[in-house]
Amino acid sequence: MKKKSKKDTLSCRIQLPPEGCPDLFPPHNCNNSVIQLVEVGVISCEATVRGRVLCDHSPVEGVQVILTSTFPELQFTNPTPVTNNRGEFTTTVTVPRGTPITADVRITATATVSDQTISDSIIVRAGCILCDKPVLTLNPIEGPLGCQGTQVSGRLICDGVPVPDAAVSFKVENHSNKVTIAPNPAITQADGTYTATLVPFIGIDETIGVTATAIVGGHPVTSETQSVTVDCQACRNPVITLNELGNELDILDDLEAIVCRGLITGRVVCEGGPLGGVIVRLSSPLLVFESPTVITNANGEFSSPASVPPGTADQVTSYTARTEVNGILITGTNNIEVSCPPCQNPIIQLDNPGPISCRAPITGRVLCDGAPVPGVQVTLSSPLLTFQPSVVTTNINGEYASVATVPFPTPIIEGVPYTASATVNGIPVSNTNFVRAGCVDCPNPAMNLIVPPTIQCNGTIRGRVVCDTMTPIPKVAVFFDIVQSHTNVFIDPDPAITGADGHYTTTIMGMAGTMETVTVTARATVDGIPISAGPFSVRINCPPPPACPCKFKLDTQGGAQPGARIRLTEFGHILDYTGTLNVTINECGASRNGPCNPAVDNFNFVFNAGNGDNFQFTQGRRTMIACENNFTVAIVEGMINGRINNGPSRTFDARIRATLNNITGQITYEIFATDNTTTTFQTIVPFTAAGSPQSFITGC
């Protein structure tokens, strides 16, 4: 027998000790594990969610991944996939048909690797609206374009109905990759329209193609490609002009004087043509610029409002504009006379944010004699709300802003006061508003909306707001959005307030003569989370209006007039104001001698209080008119859109009684309006002001 060699009996395989050999053969432990979700962006009915698990940059096989989402309607075919040998995992997600598009849906993937819990999240838009035939249009883009770029726009509809809240993405076909579109994707509005901005980069000179795409109801849809020529070449030989100074910047408006506030404008040109998209920096030893850094428009022009500090005596100061074109510094300086007398009658305005669910921005302005006052410290306070920050400083426009927060948990409370106060030139001013506020414990709010498919002149809308599909949420304000071709359809009350069982009820009303299909969406905010239902279509067939019994046109001459005394009742709080009032009424005819026309229908009234509060009632539509006392008294009743202190729009029932003195031309108005929930607006005493020469009341 042949003797085995020593080589045959020795094994070359190295057996590592259990703990390895330090510095030579370290043990294979996982130190840095990560999980990565691939961005999805939009989930329309169905989509694939995928990702991978890595450790020390190597794939990990056999790891169970747990998938969750903040959107109950989003379902995973397999919520616990396992990674393959490439560390990848995948599953399908579905959304039931009829689910409205919802933004800010968070999908989270969680796993455990080597006793480490790891997670990753993505934010998507999810929904599955009922849609068979989507149509996506992209409006023609007018060219050629320069460096300033342009707006791109279009519309998304499905089965003839606008699609809101959908994501529209853009694809740019060009060779140099020197064009971008932002935002991408763009989000459609309530009427299905979308807009974005096309921005070219310097160095492009070519024809590009732009295409819009979207997914609606699970159906991908693409617009026609729009072509446009873009020419944005670098400036090689700029030609700069400056009036009188002979410098390298052309200041268009050499302002003679600025009293408290004015406008600084200028222009940058290159090779005889305007230069758009150039950053210009403004400075001055005295002037305060609203925008110290501005960008030239397509005509090479720039502008910025400038203010003079209050109390500045007459004097001459300078301002300078600087920019750089292809490395060439351009500077221009002008001298100007400025002044700003000390403030005598300051007011502080406090905007109405609408219902506050957990948190909301609070904004306002400080004005003096109608001019903004910058650099004023404003203190915000409330017995319930906290503000971050609680002391803010006004900017050049006299504006201030903060964020109001409601303690968690707090049931929804009506009529929570909040106050803004400041001192201007030693004069204390303050303003208090009231608001519905709360922060309920509801991580998964939901709402529904039931509308009649067809009505004549009115019909009932109802729905419910709940938490976790079962628990009703009371005192929630539900607002409504209507997409219509005219402004003849109202929802009253708007907002509707949920009852103890979470239900809300309101009425949709078409003014006489309304014959069209509108879409209605309901929206609310619970626990700081926006929710919505719809849009749903309603066909309105309201018979034409009867013949007019009379006609009248009544306006306050010269716009808003002083001396109006108004009482506002809001959440049970009564506030009396004195201020200016502007009234316009036009019913059934545009002129005294013209024919009676039932289609003429509009009334408005706007009140500005002496403390800075403002009340705007616009686009009023009549439900009844009458004339009395030998055509010296006109009465109109109807629906009107109302906004208080720049807050959300609401529907008000309104009644105006106007008495015209045909000898003096004066008109006396008595006004009452209510939103049928929390607010009434009325004249304390009749308001009398000169009427316009065109004012009349006459028969038909």
Residue with the bigger pLDDT between 490 and 11: it is: 490
Query: Would you state the pLDDT for residue 679?
Result: 95
Over range 316-321, report the average pLDDT. Answer: 87
Q: Tens of pLDDT along 521-575?
A: 999 999 999 999 999 999 999 998 888 999 999 999 998 999 999 999 999 999 9
Convert 154-181 to b/e letters by CB count within 10 Å (16 or more is b).
Answer: bbbbbeebbbbbbbbbbeeeeeeebbeb
Q: Tens of pLDDT along 634-652?
A: 999 999 999 999 999 999 9
Residue with the bigger pLDDT between 303 and 402: it is: 402
- pLDDT band at 325; cut points 50, 70, 90: confident
Query: Would you state the pLDDT for residue 476?
Result: 96
Convert 599-613 to b/e letters by CB count within 10 Å (16 or more is b).
Answer: ebbbbbbbbbbebbb
Say if residues 79 and 66 touch (Cβ distance below 8 Å). Answer: yes
431 has pLDDT over 70: yes
247 has pLDDT over 70: no
Distance CA 333, CA 331 (A): 7
Query: Would you state the pLDDT for residue 371?
Result: 83
Query: Would you state the pLDDT for residue 248?
Result: 36
Query: Would you state the pLDDT for residue 3?
Result: 47
Query: Would you state the pLDDT for residue 306?
Result: 86
What DSSP string describes 69-92?
Answer: ES-TT-EESSSS-B--TTSEEEEE
- pLDDT band at 686; cut points 50, 70, 90: very high
Query: Would you state the pLDDT for residue 673?
Result: 98
- pLDDT band at 370; cut points 50, 70, 90: confident
7 has pLDDT over 70: no
Q: Tens of pLDDT along 438-465?
A: 999 998 999 999 999 999 999 999 999 9
Q: Tens of pLDDT along 156-191?
A: 999 888 999 999 999 998 877 888 898 999 999 988
- pLDDT band at 256; cut points 50, 70, 90: low
- pLDDT band at 581; cut points 50, 70, 90: very high
- The percentage of the chain sitting over the pLDDT mark of 90, rounded to a whole number, equals 66
Q: What are phi and psi of 7, to 5 degrees?
A: -65, -35
295 has pLDDT over 60: yes
Report CA-CA distances (Å) from 539 to 132, 431, 517, 623.
20, 44, 4, 20
Distance CA 416, CA 476 (A): 14
Query: Would you state the pLDDT for residue 574?
Result: 95
22 has pLDDT over 50: no
- pLDDT band at 429; cut points 50, 70, 90: very high
Query: What's the half-sphere exposure (Cβ side, CA atoms, 13 Å) at 222?
Result: 6
6 has pLDDT over 60: no
Q: Tens of pLDDT along 582-603?
A: 999 999 998 998 899 999 999 9
Distance CA 513, CA 490 (A): 14
Say if residues 300 and 269 touch (Cβ distance below 8 Å). Answer: yes
pTM over 0.75: no
13 has pLDDT over 60: no
* Beta pairing partners, 472: 466
14 has pLDDT over 90: no
Distance CA 477, CA 474 (A): 9
- pLDDT band at 115; cut points 50, 70, 90: confident
Say if residues 603 and 620 touch (Cβ distance below 8 Å). Answer: yes
What DSSP element (H or E) covers 9?
A: helix 6-9
- pLDDT band at 245; cut points 50, 70, 90: very low
- pLDDT band at 149; cut points 50, 70, 90: confident
